């Protein structure tokens, strides 16, 4: 299974745990890296000080006899305190950064100047090409079926990966709907060299998500997640009272301002981290339908490489 992704990140298997808000702290990321994949901290839901704490704890958990296994941080580039986040990442010598939701041009060269490997998450082949031109080391192409924030083109993983493969020559990681061994193989057949799993890791034991959230999302029925809030930023959510209110508002043609008011603040934290299944945003991918059991990160990796 060794390939360019493994070489790039110094990992055993080309399996990446997506850096997800409210799910991927140091416990999850270090468990994935310990099992031979690449664990990512999700900076999107961390205050800068908290991120520093997670980086230090993750490194500690991954260091033995002066050798530290690789790990990384996912940084949504629209994060308000982005400068501070990047400063911490450089100071704490994080070896790998995945950026998303923004232009890769601004930060890639600075990060690379500090010896950091950079991957960027995209939802189109045009943007993948821009990433390659900006000098990123790898691209994550994420399809419509992915949980949480999502591309406007609505291109699915099955259509996106071959298109991105044609567009770029640098290493390509498939994301969006990937959870099982069969899908891992399918992603490689489509032209990817590695996979990034969000949903399956979000629902595993080491995820910091609330138990309510995990139990609600495991084994969702098909059609029980929907891409909503398209007038703001398209976001895939599991059905609940809040999403029903969003659908009602969208159906009657509510504008962006109204939707923003309805959304308010802190709903992802409420849903994912505090377990408010009624009023929270339940960000999760379509493939939650096939993620049914409680399992550890190591069990997931071991099934994928079996």
Q: Which residues bind a second copy (CB under 8 A)?
A: 124-126, 143-145, 152-160, 162-163, 165-166, 176-178, 180, 182-183, 185-191, 221-223, 226-227, 231, 250-254, 286-287, 289-290
Angular region, 240: left φ>0, alpha ψ -120 to 50, beta rest: beta
Strands 67-68 and 63-64: antiparallel
Q: Shortest approach of a second copy to residue 285 CB, angstroms?
A: 8
Name the residue nearer to a second copy (CB basis): 189 or 241.
Answer: 189
Name the residue nearer to a second copy (CB basis): 206 or 295.
Answer: 295
Q: Shortest approach of a second copy to residue 227 CB, angstroms?
A: 7
Name the residue nearer to a second copy (CB basis): 86 or 291.
Answer: 291
Name the residue nearer to a second copy (CB basis): 1 or 90.
Answer: 1
Q: How many CA atoms lie within 13 A of 39 on its CB side?
A: 34
Overall residue count recorded for the chain in this entry: 306
Q: Shortest approach of a second copy to residue 64 CB, angstroms?
A: 36
Name the residue nearer to a second copy (CB basis): 51 or 287.
Answer: 287
Q: Shortest approach of a second copy to residue 158 CB, angstroms?
A: 4
Q: Shortest approach of a second copy to residue 289 CB, angstroms?
A: 6
By CB atoms closer than 10 A (0-12, 13-18, 19+), residue 48 is middle
By CB atoms closer than 10 A (0-12, 13-18, 19+), residue 46 is buried
**Kind and range of the H or E run holding 77:** none
Nearest 5°: the CA angle 58, 291, 213 is 65
Name the residue nearer to a second copy (CB basis): 21 or 249.
Answer: 249
Q: Shortest approach of a second copy to residue 206 CB, angstroms?
A: 24
In 158-270 the beta strands, taken as DSSP E runs, fall at 172-175, 194-197, 225-228, 235-238
């Amino acid at each position: 299974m060794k390939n360019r992704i493994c070489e790039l990140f110094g990992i055993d298997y080309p399996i990446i745990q997506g850096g997800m808000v409210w799910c991927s702290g140091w416990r999850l990321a270090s468990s994935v890296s310990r099992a031979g994949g690449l664990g990512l901290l999700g900076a999107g839901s961390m205050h800068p000080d908290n991120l520093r704490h997670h980086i230090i704890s993750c490194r500690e958990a991954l260091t033995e006899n002066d050798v530290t296994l690789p790990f990384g941080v996912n940084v949504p580039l629209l994060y308000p305190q982005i400068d501070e986040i990047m400063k911490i990442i450089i100071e704490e010598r994080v070896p790998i950064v995945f950026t998303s939701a923004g232009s890769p041009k601004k930060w890639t060269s600075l990060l690379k100047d500090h010896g950091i490997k950079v991957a960027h998450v995209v939802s189109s082949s045009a943007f993948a090409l821009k990433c390659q031109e900006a000098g990123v080391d790898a691209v994550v192409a994420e399809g419509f079926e992915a949980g949480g924030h999502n591309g406007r083109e609505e291109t699915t993983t099955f259509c996106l990966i071959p298109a991105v493969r044609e567009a770029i020559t640098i290493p390509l990681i498939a994301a969006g709907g990937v959870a099982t061994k069969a899908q891992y193989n399918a992603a490689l057949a489509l032209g990817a060299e590695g996979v990034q799993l969000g949903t399956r890791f979000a629902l595993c034991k080491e995820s910091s998500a609330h138990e309510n959230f995990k139990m609600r999302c495991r084994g969702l029925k098909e059609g029980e997640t929907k891409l909503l809030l398209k007038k703001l930023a398209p976001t895939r959510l599991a059905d609940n009272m809040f999403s029903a209110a969003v659908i009602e508002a969208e159906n009657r043609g509510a504008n962006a301002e109204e939707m923003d008011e309805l959304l308010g603040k802190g709903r992802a934290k409420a849903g994912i981290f505090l377990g408010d299944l009624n009023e929270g945003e339940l960000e999760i991918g379509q493939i939650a339908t096939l993620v049914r059991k409680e399992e550890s990160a190591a069990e997931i990796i071991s099934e994928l490489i079996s």
